Amino acid sequence: MGNSFWRTKAEPSTRKTIHWPSPAQLITQLGIAVAITLIWGALWWGFVQFAADKPDQSAALPQNEAVQVDGEPSPTPLPPTDTPVATSTPQPTAAAADPVGETAGATDQPAEQAPPIDTATPSPAPTETPLPATDTPVPASVENTTEQVSFAADVFPIIENRCVKCHGGEETEEGLSMTSHAEIMQGSWNGSILEPGNADNSFMVEQIISGEMPKNEPRLLPREIRIITEWINVGAPDN
């Protein structure tokens, strides 16, 4: 106890000195902030590009409508006709009809003056002018203008080149085989893939325009889509 003593309060603590960051640390932190900003900017730019590359399904509809309107017949103007003008026939006067009586009256009554003769020409009744027969050929209807689309010559080569790879032979996805006209009209397990006479309501055209088909392949060209659409609109014949 002689060398010990009672401590009545805590030992005074020393205040630590705060060191400010060095220029190297500031540059490091600034580089990290710039890298994070660039990463976020790259992600945002990629999202904008992906949204811009998304296909627009409504772009092909006006084209389909334009193909159908091109075949509408134009009215044939009637050729001008020369309407004959009706001419009136002069009526014989009373004096010319009875020359003997007039001569006798003039002899018996020389002092009397002959009454005035009404020489007014009656107006002819209007006549209906018949239209001349014309040999102008009637323009072909919309169906006749699109009958030139042939399944064997125009449609099937496109299907054989772009569709039979997945829908023909041993591999037929969804039970759909497209190696012949009869198999195409039969459809898949889910039903018919086209409606003859109505391309706008055909599932096949919808898949082609949206880019869903052919799967994992380049899209069909606008000319190829127009040929298939016209073929369905005329009834999808086996010609």
Taking the chain (239 residues) in runs of 10, the rounded mean pLDDT of each run is 54 68 89 94 91 62 47 56 53 45 45 56 59 46 58 92 83 84 90 92 91 86 94 92
**Residue 16 pLDDT:** 67
Give me the torsion for CA of 117, 120, 121, 124, rounded to 10°: -130
**Residue 181 pLDDT:** 92
- Please, are residues 168 and 177 in contact by the beta-carbon 8 Å criterion? yes
Q: How far apart, in Å, are the Cα atoms of 47 and each of 38, 43, 50, 52, 105? A: 14, 6, 5, 9, 120
Q: What is the DSSP letter of 197?
A: T
Structure tokens at 146: 């699109």
Q: Are strands 171-172 and 167-168 parallel, antiparallel or unpaired?
A: antiparallel
**Residue 21 pLDDT:** 79
Strand ranges inside the chain, DSSP E: 167-168, 171-172
**Residue 141 pLDDT:** 42
For the chain, what are the domain ranges?
24-54, 57-71+140-233
**Residue 229 pLDDT:** 95
- Please, are residues 208 and 228 in contact by the beta-carbon 8 Å criterion? yes
- Please, are residues 174 and 190 in contact by the beta-carbon 8 Å criterion? yes
**Residue 213 pLDDT:** 84
| H helix runs in 189-221, sequence order | 203-210
**Residue 63 pLDDT:** 52
Q: Label residues 210-232 b or e (16+ Cβ within 10 Å = b).
A: eeebbeeeebbeeebbbbbbbbb
